[in-house]
Structure 1
Amino acid sequence: MVNLEKDDDVKEKTKSAYIGEDIPNDPSDYREETAAEIAAPVPVRRRGYDDLRGRSEGATSAGYVALALSILSLFVWPILFGAAGIVLGIFARRGGAEGLGAWAIGIGAVSIIIGIFILPFF
């Protein structure tokens, strides 16, 4: 009999008494989900495969043109073609063709340096 009274007393203590209709008195009665606050943010827009492929193809062609201009600048008009190769190489690197753009920038810079500092002495 003592156990039944003890059980009833525990049940009464665990019941929450509501102050009003909306406000629970016991914190265990709040039903909130807090996991969303620490979840990683979801990206708003995703690029499709076709968008990346089209951008890469355009950058690749700009990279080849930049590389051709940079190589041509080693032989003819180094400042003009070297500068054009560098500018197109920057566009190619930003577009995704990093290797072609870097080579075009490097060869164009070497061509300009050779054209300004070494060729006048010959």
Structure 2
Amino acid sequence: MADERKIVDHNIDVRDTNEEIMENRIENGDYLEEASAEVAAPIAAPRTANRYDTEDETATGGKGLGWVGIALSILSLFWLPVLFGGAGIVLGFIARRRGAEGLGATAIGIGAAAIIISLFLAPFF
């Protein structure tokens, strides 16, 4: 190995020397450890308690919004369909999220139907 000496040149490329250093470290078993585990943010523990104590409270909170959504959706069939239909759809989604899935779906359906019907009938008026 003494015969394989390299001639030192002052115009050495830095990348070449870094690659040689890394190859020597890998061959000798000197590995650079990755430190991402120490730097990473801790994982939050999952929540075990619900926001609401019972399902009755969620259904009760959603029922009122569901009925208001249905009322706005029905009103949108006759007057300002985009405004009241959109409000009915939004309240329908909120009611479904709070547990009143039937009322919420009805409000969403009637509101969407009112908007679609108004789009088709608008050219005639």
- Residue 71 of structure 1 corresponds to 74
Distance 1:58 1:76 in 2: 27
Distance 1:74 1:106 in 2: 12
CA contact (8 A) 2:73 2:114 kept: yes
Number of residue pairs matched by the alignment: 80
Distance 2:65 2:52 in 1: 20
Report runs of 4+ in structure 1 exceeding 3 Å deviation.
Answer: 44-51
Aligned-residue sequence identity (percent) comes to 58
1:53 aligns with 2:66: no
Structure 1's unaligned 5+ residue stretches are 1-43
Give TM-score, length-normalised by structure 2. 0.57
Give TM-score, length-normalised by structure 1. 0.58
2:106 to 90, 103, 109: 103
- Show the 5 A alignment for 1:6-21: none
Is the radius of gyration larger for structure 1 or structure 2?
A: 1
User: What is the SS of the residue equivalent to 1:45?
Assistant: coil
For residues 87-116 of structure 1, the C-alpha deviation after alignment (integer angstroms, 9 at most, x for no partner) is: 000001111111101110000001001112
The alignment yields a C-alpha RMSD, in angstroms, of 2.2
Distance 1:63 1:102 in 2: 9
